[in-house]
Amino acid sequence: MNNLNNYISEETPPKASAMINTFRAFGYNLQTAIADIIDNSISAEAGNIWVNYEWKGAESWVSIIDDGVGMDSNTLVSAMTPGCKDPNDEREITDLGRFGLGLKTSSFSQCKTLTVATKRADSKILKRCWDLDFVNKTEKWSLLDYISDESHIEKLDELDSGSIVLWEHLDRLVGISHIENEAARKVFLSEFSSVEEHLSLVFHRYLEKKKIKIWINGLEIKPWDPFMKDSEGGQLICNEFLDNSNVHVKCYVLPHISKIKKDKRESAKTEKWYGLQGFYIYRNERLLLYADWLGLFSKNEHYKNARILIDISNQLDHDWKIDIKKATASPPVNVRKDLVRLGKMTRLAAGGVYRFRGNQVMLDDSIKSFDFQPVWKATKKRDGAFEYFINEEHPVLNKIMNNEVVEKKDIKTILKLIGETTPVEAIIQNYSENPESAELRSEQRELENGTIQLAKLMFKSLQKSGLSNEIAIKQILRIEPFNEYPQIIEYLN
């Protein structure tokens, strides 16, 4: 190999404004950005973390304060320097960082002014600031010894040690909104409601074990365990170690909704269970990726009770392709086959819970002791066959049907809802258990008034489009279900 030291070379540092603005485009949202800052607090051995925010229009701000060990001058400057860590360096097992970019990229994704103030025990407060407008103006990597308002760091005076990350000029979140802009204020507050929910999930194991406490504007966050490992919680059906014991997998099947007390359903987030199924990947007990089948399976209504916990260490970041945001992951080939096996087993168990309870409770129209409202319901006939129909009491359908004007988007919503929730598994199971009583469509059925009115609407619409009465009628008779009622012609005049 050629000795490259023998060749002429020159330094080509990146243009300050171009590079620092590139850091704004890593795809964080407010929730993942704040979680990334909290990772640094945990790595700094913090026991308490305070997230504060204030709506002041364009002057709104956010701060994350911790009582960790703090930093000296060299450590602070290093922490503010982009790429201060080599992702290939060996790290402490408790370190939640990797690239040395999280503080900067997460902050710049939300604000144009990032200030970090810190102090160690028996030391004075130090501060450094990145102002993107100043960097863009000067075209220099100018890290300032500056803070806009000393009152922001008063909390540090009360602590033996700790750090504060301050975000100002939140152009991505509030822009140039006036303080009296009520719509912008509601969006701002709504975002922080999502932050609370996100942190309660991402750090739930830390919160459960009392390793840390997190407050948002003075209110302590409570952990939310997606596996419901409490008295009425999920059932652990499998506990395995993979990849030479470097990967720990636990498979859970949550109870059927009917088993959860009404006053617990909100905290269990039962209305979101469809979206919460899948794998949950943790690194050092911090949730990275959740409710994702990792491309191995697709989400399905009948597997919404299935959740699989995967524990990995930070030594596997490269193998699992953990990104800067710590929001995506891809299992290595040597683990993927086992995850498929465990996923199939868990989904099968979850499907059994749903089908059993679903067929007998959720769909059965004769059972009235349950307040769950499915889209489809079923009535069992004397011969044992089931007749399936749309439940007009479903909240979404009921709301749209009671609107004075039904818009195109409402019709699309109804059609999508009906299509996605068609009880295919229930129909298959009922047929397999009692095939001789399967309800088939009779050749002659009574023509209902609703069908007539719908045909009339179609007929008028075709007439307005320029078709003759004869062609319009022929078109209608080619459309299901009108093709089954030739007598409908007499109503189309």
With contact defined as beta carbons under 8 Å apart, do 190 and 145 qualify?
A: no
Say what the pLDDT of residue 358 is: 46
pLDDT tens digit string along 57-89?
999 999 999 999 999 999 999 999 986 554 555
Where does 44-161 have alpha helices with state H? Answer: 73-80, 102-108, 132-138, 154-158
* Token code pair at residue 210: 């009392």
Is 237 within 8 Å of 253 (Cβ atoms)?
yes
pLDDT-based confidence at residue 231 (cuts at 50, 70, 90): low
Q: Provide the pLDDT for residue 222.
A: 96
Of the ranges 163-167, 460-464, 473-477, the best mean pLDDT one: 163-167
CA 92 to chain centre: 29
- Contact assessment for residue 283 and residue 265, using Cβ atoms and an 8 Å cutoff: no
Give yes or no for a contact between 132 and 112, defined as CB atoms under 8 angstroms apart: yes
Name the nearest CA neighbour of 238 among 227, 226, 250.
250
Superfamily of domain 16-220: Histidine kinase-like ATPase, C-terminal domain (3.30.565.10)
Phi, psi of 28 (to 5 degrees): -70, 155
Selection from 262, 272, 335, 276 nearest residue 306 by Cα: 276
SS3 264: helix
Listed in order, strand segments (DSSP E) in 169-244 are: 213-216, 219-220, 235-242
Q: What is the pLDDT of residue 131?
A: 96
pLDDT of 402 strictly over 70 = yes
Q: pLDDT tens digits, residue range 307-344? A: 999 999 888 888 888 877 677 788 999 999 999 999 99
The pTM of this model reads 0.71
Tell me what pLDDT residue 361 has: 41
- Range from 96-110, 245-259, 263-277, 370-384 carrying the lowest mean pLDDT: 370-384
pLDDT tens column, 423-473 = 776 776 666 556 555 555 555 567 777 788 778 878 887 888 888 888 888
DSSP 104: H
Evaluate if residue 50 carries a pLDDT over 60. Answer: yes
Average pLDDT over residues 413-428: 77
Residues 6+ apart with CB under 8 A from 424: none
Order the strands of the 213-216 sheet from edge to edge: 126-131, 113-119, 162-168, 61-66, 48-54, 213-216, 219-220
Q: Residue 433 is inside which H or E element, if any? A: helix 424-433
CATH number of 235-362: 3.30.230
